[in-house]
Chains A and B, each alone.
Chain A
Amino acid sequence: MKPGSIAVIGAAETTRLGKIPDMSVIGLHADAALNALADCGLTAKDIDGVATAGESPVAIAHYLGITPTWADGTAVGGCSFMLHVRHAAAAINEGLCKTVLITHGESGRSRVGSGGFGRAPSSLMGQFEMPYGVTSPPTMFTIPVMRYLKTRGYTEADLAMVAVIQREWAAKNPRASFRDPITVDDVLNSPMIAWPFRMLMCCLVTDGGGALILTSAERAKDFPQKPVYILGTGESVETPMVSQMEDFNSSKAFRVSGKKAFEEAGITQADVDHLMIYDAFAHLPLYGLEDLGFCKPGEAAGFIRDRHTAPGGKLPLNTNGGGLSYMHSGMYGMYALQESVRQMRGIAPAQVPGAKIAVSHGVGGMFAASGTVIFGNET
């Protein structure tokens, strides 16, 4: 895409986040969508493109009363929304539609109107991973990490430090689920989930949703909010089986997606003022910093320990508190995008002063997929 040709004009999360037992999955999608429409002064009748994951775009369009000329149901896990942004930008530029609504809603904690986590026993995962006792992300996403720690010379304390610093960001955010300060010892002494992962190295499980509305940059100036431009995008997928990822020390999907987005935007890592790296678990920011080229392999843990990503540091990372402390409904990518948009609008609770370029990097499945969106508040 041409950098800056598309903009986010509406962005909102669900009215509440956390524990929402009185709303179903599709209800959360709709709440977020209505909030995003209100944010830009549009109604469902003004929307002609719909993208979502978790629910079908058919269900969302019908529920909200939208008659789209373009629909995208790409569902590759938590980064699906990054891919939706990318696909929507291409669709708008191609003239397939003018105004796209992207929705997310998930009853991750209360499980109201949500499906299960099962895998068919005849699928490749069902045959070659499920028989060994993998349960859910804490026993799958974590599989490569012992190898990664050994290769890079990182320690359990390095994983813990990721959670500690993100809690510092969360403390600044009234909507964050966990805001009390924690120490490395607190993390290492929290209950063991799946060695070497303790509870505080794993994301929250909460209810919530979010929605984005995109249109062309020319039209974007006519809406009430400051436009947030899309400068570059990337996506890739690798394997549905974490045991089969090519390199346990690096995500191929991260590298491909990140490189594509930076090339498209025509920027370098030094140009980035604000960064979101989807943190379902404490190792993901380490992989992300290395695979996106912000740190050389082996230097990410020291970069975090030296407070470069902490409040006051040169590369503010996961400033909403992240999946570890802010919220995590299951497909967290939408919340990373929302924080990037807030930072570019200049309205984030932990606002990075003068930030002009924000990178939002997502993961889907267990290193299965990736999507990257680079935002700017100037064209």
Chain B
Amino acid sequence: MDRALPQPTPETQHFWDGCKVGELRLQKCTACRESYFPPRPFCPACGSRSVEIYKASGKAILYSYVINHRPRPDMGTAPHSIAVVQLEEGPRMMTNIVGCPQTPEALQLDMPVEVTFETFGAIALPFFKPAGA
């Protein structure tokens, strides 16, 4: 079964284009300098439409997660993490933690992780793996 994939909209296209070329793109307000996610063409902190797109460091910490023991049919059959990481730049995003056992022992809160991309047809999804792994 094919994996459920995002369908980009005009407001999010830059993010998904970035993933395809290995860049995690965030947006930042040029007025108040707030970084934010998910993408939108204005700053959610101050309402300014003057925003810029930039390449994030890809560094984050594991903020919270579950290990789903009843995976969706398109996600395979083994238990897998569904996580939220806190990016170095501030925003949080949902992801999967890859490149390590999907166990509570291997998935410690606050451990450093870094972005890695996996391509599924026309879409590349941003995953995170333990830093340096």
Contacts and interface: CB of A to CB of B under 8 A. Distances in A.
B109 A146 contact: yes
Given A143-B82, A146-B109, A147-B64, A131 B70 contact: no
A122 B66 CA distance: 24
A241 B82 contact: no
Nearest to A120: B7
Interface string B1-28: 0011111110010001000000000000
Interface residues of A, number: 35
A256 to B, nearest CB: 17
A251 to B, nearest CB: 14
B116 to A, nearest CB: 14
Chain B CB within 10 Å, residue with most, of A121, A134, A195 = A195
A126 interface: yes
A126 B69 CA distance: 21
B47 interface: no
A259 to B, nearest CB: 23
A146 B7 CA distance: 30
Contacts of A148: 64
Interface in A191-222: 191-197
Chain A CB within 10 Å, residue with most, of B6, B7, B9 = B6
Given A129-B94, A133-B75, A244-B38, A143 B3 contact: no
Interface in A98-155: 120-122, 124, 126-135, 138-139, 142-148, 150
A178 interface: no
A92 B80 CA distance: 50
A194 B95 contact: no
Interface string B88-119: 00001111100000001000010000000000
Contacts, number: 112
Contact of B69 (A144, A145, A146, A194): A194
A243 to B, nearest CB: 4
Given A133-B72, A193-B69, A195-B104, A124 B38 contact: yes
B65 interface: yes
Given A241-B38, A243-B92, A130 B6 contact: yes
A142 B64 CA distance: 9
A147 B107 CA distance: 12
A196 B67 CA distance: 8
Dominant secondary structure of chain A at its interface with chain B: mixed
Given A121-B6, A146-B66, A193-B69, A244 B92 contact: yes
B54 to A, nearest CB: 18
B4 A150 contact: no
Contacts of A135: 68, 70-72
Nearest to A118: B4
Contacts of B72: 133-135
A130 B4 CA distance: 7
Interface string A238-275: 00010110001000000000000000000000000000
A115 B75 CA distance: 23
Given A121-B4, A124-B38, A195-B104, A133 B71 contact: yes
B66 A248 contact: no
Contacts of B64: 143-148, 248
16 contacts: A122-B7, A126-B6, A127-B12, A127-B16, A133-B72, A133-B96, A139-B66, A139-B82, A142-B66, A143-B65, A143-B84, A145-B64, A147-B84, A194-B68, A194-B70, A195-B104
Interface of A: 120-122, 124, 126-135, 138-139, 142-148, 150, 191-197, 241, 243-244, 248
